[in-house]
Amino acid sequence: NGGKFCGGFDINVFGRIHETGDISLLPDTSTETTCYMEDARKPSVAAIEGLALGGGLELAMLCHARIATPDAKLGLPELTLGVIPGSGGTQRLPRLIGLPSALDVMLSSKPLASVEAKRLGLVDAVVSSAELLKVSRQWAADIAGGSKPWIRSLHRVDKLGSLVEMHGLIQKARENYIRAAKNTPQYLACLGVIEEGIAHGGYHGILKESKVFTELVLTDASRGLVHAFFSQRAASKVPNVSDIGLKPREVRKVAVIGGGLMGSGIATALIVNGVNVILKEISSEHVKKAIHAVKGNVTNLASRKVLTQDKAEKALLRLKGALDYSEFHDVEMVIEAVIENIPLKQKIFSELEKVCPPHCVLASNTSTIDLYTIGENTASQDRIIGAHFFSPAHLMPLLEVVRTEKTSPQVILDLMTLGKKIKKVPVVVGNCTGFAVNRIFYLYGRGANLLVHLGVDLFRIDQVITDFGFPMGPFLLMDLSGYGVTVAVRETMSSSFSDRTFESPLVDLLLKSGRNGKQNGKGCYIYQKGMKPKPDLSVLAIVEECRKLINIMPDGKPISITDSELVEM
């Protein structure tokens, strides 16, 4: 009804449980009740329009058939909240679509489009909204009349494969999550529950599922992830912007200035989400290199099945290189993504004011420079805003929307809306040193550098942070971001907080030795095409030189510190 079959469990209940510790607030959806519906003598068919997520999909899988509209989305996103599906999803989904596909759906938490769901066997037919109820009713009548199969998901075994194959798949999946299991227990728990059903039958599986679900609700992982869920929702509500009746203007064409690591990533994020892009660079060679980088990003997304080949090809048709401003006459937004150089950015913005239409949003991807400084030579302060993406920009979900006191509410709303369109989480922040993320993250990096000077191995620091659950440690991240960004952030933060910073010469020594992280294939790690970054042990000599320049080790000896103490720091 209204494009939403069922979005699942009311997540507000999780919040109340976390506040009170009262697990009895969970709704009583017993195993007996759900199985009674599935085993009933009257056939049921789920007519799915819009969303069937979490408990909504579990409800649909209790039915004997599922009919969906073309725009329907089906999925089990529970793991993103620190729990597992709790109403039979871990048992019924593998029996409907096979274990490999079910593992992918549950562990990734990504919804399936209805056409893909039909291909896998989760959906029986895809029909128009106008035909949905008619077809669903007829399907139920056909089941009752015997002309359509009466399928009870929990009793199916034809898609499961052999026990040896299934245990092998689960073990392989388990290896990907063992390292971070302490802080994200829901992944191994989900695999364990699936395995229980495979070994002892679906009914035993859902009994264990119910027990494990209840246990996970009270974990720190669930508390933190539910908090993040509500924080993300709250971020879209900005006083005097989202509550004053403004409507976002459609952004169909964006110019990106600068095709380096960040600019090519931003361009990628835009074109794969339906936005036409003009990518401007300073020379034909730079344009060629930038477009090649974008093509590489899109190809990588297609190889990882994030995009279909057809969508990847269509995305690249939205990209056009440029050497001048001749194509800027009809752009709705410009995102400047050049190096952190104040005179260069000021020159660009003064030029943009002359060549872009008067309604065009003028955004800078700066991570460190005051926006007033960038736009001080223009008369368009109300159109200037920060659009701070994070590297790699086509993958990282966060987008800092940086407002000044002069930025108009319409411009803020337009950038927030575009951010959501390209699948980012826009967070509005003030125009201050480091904005929000770098202001916090700078201390994380400084702490890691301080530990190196105290004698802790930098590769150990990265490993400990990865074991904790982060996708990478601070030094690998520094490599991927590029040392220029590190230097620029350091200079900005040091000038604002000179009495509160610890400055290591490590990045300067790395640059002096010809290293620049992933950009030139050499940093703290070695980068080779098609291979994971490998620690470069030769960098330890540079670390020793760094420690000699600033020697703060007590009595000249490395400190003794446990892994848990490193994490707490």
**Residues identified as active-site:** 58, 78
Our CA angle for 304, 305, 308, nearest 5°, is 135
The Cα–Cα gap between 483 and 511 comes to 8
Residues with Cβ within 8 Å of 447's Cβ and at least 6 positions away in sequence, in order, are 569
Kindly state the tokens that stand for 96.
Answer: 């409907």
Q: What is the DSSP string of 316-345?
A: HTTEEEESSSTTGGG-SEEEE---S-HHHH
Going through 273-316 in order, the beta strands assigned E by DSSP cover 276-280
Tell me how many degrees the CA angle 510-513-519 measures, rounded to the nearest 5: 65
Least Cα distance to 246 among 389, 85, 409 occurs for 409
In the chain, what is the straight-line distance between the N-terminal and C-terminal CA atoms, in Å?
50
Q: Crossing angle for the helix pair 163-175 and 186-200, nearest 10 degrees?
A: 170
| Nearest by Cα to 174 from 270, 98, 107 | 107
Polymer length in residues for the chain: 569
Q: Where are the beta strands (DSSP E) in 97-160?
A: 112-113, 125-126
Q: Which backbone phi and psi does 461 adopt, to 5 degrees? A: -60, -50
CB 511 within 8 A of CB 483: yes
Do residues 129 and 72 lie in contact, with contact meaning Cβ atoms separated by under 8 Å? Answer: no
H or E element, residue 427: strand 425-430
Structure tokens at 343: 């005179």
Q: How many CB atoms lie within 10 A of CB 347?
A: 13
Per the DSSP assignment, residues forming a β-bridge with 48 are 68
**For tokens 């369109």, what's the residue?**
421
